[in-house]
Each structure stands twice: as structure tokens, then as C-alpha cells.
């Protein structure tokens, strides 16, 4: 069985609309990660973020805004 992305997207959208109509889902609710990350994965993500910060240190521009060079395009 093969699935088309657009078809799945439409099905998910319709399901979300139905949940909102029934009151099971708030329309303004953001997605929440339900499964907590294990400590090993948290430490890995933290280390990756710190390494990136050391490699591309943030700085302030002439207007005083913080610039994150890694994300700057």
C-alpha cells in the first residue's frame, strides 16, 4: 500500500478539525512533547548546543541585538 503525502496531510487536517469541533482539542494549543527525553539524550543535545556556541560565538551588533552566527543567513 502506498501513501501520498498530500492525501495524508488532508486526512490529518480533517481529523484535527473534527477534534476541535468535538472540543477534544483547543485550536490555539501548541504541540507538546508527551514522552520525556532520557537523560543521555538530553546530555547529548546540551553538548551539541554548547559545541556549536563555542564554534560560532554569539555577539551584539551595532544596535545592541544579539546575533547568532550559526543561524544567520
31 located within any domain: yes
For residue 40, name the pLDDT band (cuts at 50, 70, 90).
Answer: very high
Query: What is the total count of domains within the chain?
Result: 1
Domain interval for residue 54: 5-67
72 located within any domain: no
22 located within any domain: yes
Instruction: Residue 56: count other Cβ atoms within 10 Å of its Cβ.
Output: 14
28 located within any domain: yes
Distances 5 to 8, 11, 12 between C-alpha atoms, Å: 5, 10, 10
Q: What is the dihedral of CA 7, 33, 71, 60, to 10 degrees?
A: 150
The tens digit of pLDDT for each residue in 4-32 reads 778 878 888 888 888 889 888 887 767 76
Amino acid at each position: 500500500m502506498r501513501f501520498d503525502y498530500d492525501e495524508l496531510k488532508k486526512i490529518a487536517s480533517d481529523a484535527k478539525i473534527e477534534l476541535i469541533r468535538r472540543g477534544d482539542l483547543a485550536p490555539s494549543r501548541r504541540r507538546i512533547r508527551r514522552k520525556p527525553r532520557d537523560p543521555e539524550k538530553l546530555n547529548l543535545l546540551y553538548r551539541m548546543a554548547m559545541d556549536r556556541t563555542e564554534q560560532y560565538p554569539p555577539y551584539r551588533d551595532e544596535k545592541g541585538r544579539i546575533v547568532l552566527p550559526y543561524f544567520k543567513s
